[in-house]
Amino acid sequence: MNHRKHSPPGNGHALPDARALPHGAWPVEPTHGGGDPPNGADDLPEPVQEHLPIAAGEGEVGNTLQTYLREIRRAPLFTPDEEFAMATRARAGDFAARQQMIERNLRLVVSIAKSYLSRGLPMTDLIEEGNLGLMHAIGKFEPERGFRFSTYASWWIRQSIERAIMHQARLVRLPVHVVRELNQVLKARRALEGEAAASADGRTVRVDEIAAALGRPVTEVSELLRFAEQPTSLDAPLERQAGNGAETLGDMVADEQATDPLGHTLNHELDVLLEHGLGELSEREREVLAGRYGLHDREPETLEVLAERLGLTRERIRQIQQEALLKLKRRMARNGVNRDSIF
């Protein structure tokens, strides 16, 4: 996807709101995960230390997050003139101005981070990654170009969050181009879901509708949507329980290969009776049954192989087998075992 860079109309210091920008005006915000950054930089810097309220810490994450949200609401938003003056000072190296630019735009990060919930990272992590994008945007912002800082910073905030999701949220990392295509599909789905919610018909958006909106084959969209599914840990506690000893998802998944305790006990007793019954047979009879049925961890043998090994005819091996089985079934029947359940 190619995105052209456009210069804003005029050279004045007026700061129009982002919603008033004409389509294509600087800075271009590409679809999630795609395109080039507005100033041509490709990578976010290493995390830098800033005097910021902590988005997540020890203790109850929910309480910490609520405290953080209350704290950032105390900082009033800039007027256009205040923003221009503060951004100019920050660009000139004024640390206090840079700090003000950060603190006055933390609500913007939270607003953007909310749109990435259910993508594999908790809200606190999304906010932290978005804050890194905000800090980077402040260092790159050129207030003299005449646009609101929120318009410019939104791209960097989204880019930082999306890269974190790409690298941290998945057990299996997806290639960058797949993530970009997936983000386009998810964006189209959200738009269609918004339209469906507005119409109040309660319907679910179909895959073919998403494909039609993007002009892509249904099979491709279906395949991309599979990548949006997040794995769930079998050790994760069920939501209806809390605290130590809570039941996990793994506790609710049945092992189809597992033997129930009663069945295991009966099989063990049957093995014991079978061994006792085999002990009453002649050595040749035991050898024939062991070879034919693969007893004692042996590989089953055909009549021909067994006859050649024991130096007997195929028919004689069959007769010994039948005689031994009859003796064994009679012994097992005396112990209350159904004769038809043996061999």
Question: Per-residue DSSP letters for 292-303?
Answer: HHT-TTPPP--H
Q: Tell me the β-bridge partners of 248.
A: 237
Q: Do 14 and 146 contact (CB within 8 A), yes or no?
A: yes
Q: Find how far residue 259's CA is from the centre of its chain.
A: 32
CATH number, domain at 146?
A: 1.20.120
* Domain end residue (candidates: 169, 193, 222): 169
Count the neighbouring beta carbons within 10 Å of the beta carbon of residue 252.
Answer: 9
Residue 24 vs residue 300, higher pLDDT: 300
Same domain, 29 and 1: yes
Coil vs helix vs strand at 248? strand
On whether residue 246 sits in a domain, the answer given is no
Count the neighbouring beta carbons within 10 Å of the beta carbon of residue 176.
Answer: 12
- Give, as one character, the DSSP assignment of residue 341: G
Distance between CA atoms of residues 130 and 251, nearest Å: 36
Q: What is the pLDDT of residues 251-282, one digit of tens each?
A: 777 676 766 665 566 556 656 667 777 777 88
Q: Do 127 and 114 contact (CB within 8 A), yes or no?
A: no
Same domain, 90 and 209: no
Distance between CA atoms of residues 237 and 247, nearest Å: 6
Distance between CA atoms of residues 284 and 310, nearest Å: 9
Same domain, 21 and 165: yes
- Which pLDDT score is estimated for 2? 41
Angle at 291 between CA 290 and CA 294, to 5 degrees: 70
The widest CA-to-CA distance across the chain, in whole angstroms, is: 108
On whether residue 249 sits in a domain, the answer given is no
Same domain, 164 and 179: no
Which of 165, 185, 181 has the alpha carbon at shortest distance from 173? Answer: 165
On whether residue 251 sits in a domain, the answer given is no
Mean pLDDT across the chain = 75
Distance between CA atoms of residues 1 and 44, nearest Å: 20
- Enumerate residues 6+ apart whose C-beta is below 8 A from 59: none
On whether residue 238 sits in a domain, the answer given is no
Same domain, 1 and 116: yes
Coil vs helix vs strand at 182? helix
Residue 2 vs residue 136, higher pLDDT: 136
The 3-class SS string of 10-22 reads CCCCCCCCHHHCC
Coil vs helix vs strand at 237? strand
Same domain, 159 and 191: no
- Enumerate residues 6+ apart whose C-beta is below 8 A from 123: 65, 113, 114, 117
Count the neighbouring beta carbons within 10 Å of the beta carbon of residue 225.
Answer: 15
On whether residue 237 sits in a domain, the answer given is no
- Enumerate residues 6+ apart whose C-beta is below 8 A from 249: 232, 233, 234, 235, 236, 238
CATH number, domain at 285?
A: 1.10.10.10
Two structure tokens written together for 46? 């290493």
Residue 121 vs residue 240, higher pLDDT: 121
* Domain end residue (candidates: 151, 169, 187): 169
CA dihedral of 74, 80, 86, 91, whole degrees rounded to 10: 130
On whether residue 252 sits in a domain, the answer given is no
Same domain, 3 and 17: yes
Task: Give me the half-sphere count of Cα atoms (radius 13 Å) on the Cβ side of residue 61.
Answer: 6
Same domain, 331 and 199: no
* Domain end residue (candidates: 231, 250, 274): 231
Q: What is the pLDDT of residues 202-255, one digit of tens each?
A: 678 899 999 999 999 999 999 988 887 766 777 777 765 555 566 777 777 767
Same domain, 47 and 162: yes
Same domain, 156 and 179: no
On whether residue 137 sits in a domain, the answer given is yes
pLDDT at 17 over 60: no
Same domain, 145 and 61: yes
- The tally of domains found in the chain comes to 3
Distance between CA atoms of residues 179 and 189, nearest Å: 15
Q: What is the pLDDT of residues 64-113, one digit of tens each?
A: 888 888 899 888 899 999 999 999 999 999 999 999 999 999 999 999 99
Report residue 11's pLDDT band, with 50, 70 and 90 as the boundaries. Answer: very low
Residue 287 sits in which domain range?
261-341
Same domain, 18 and 68: yes
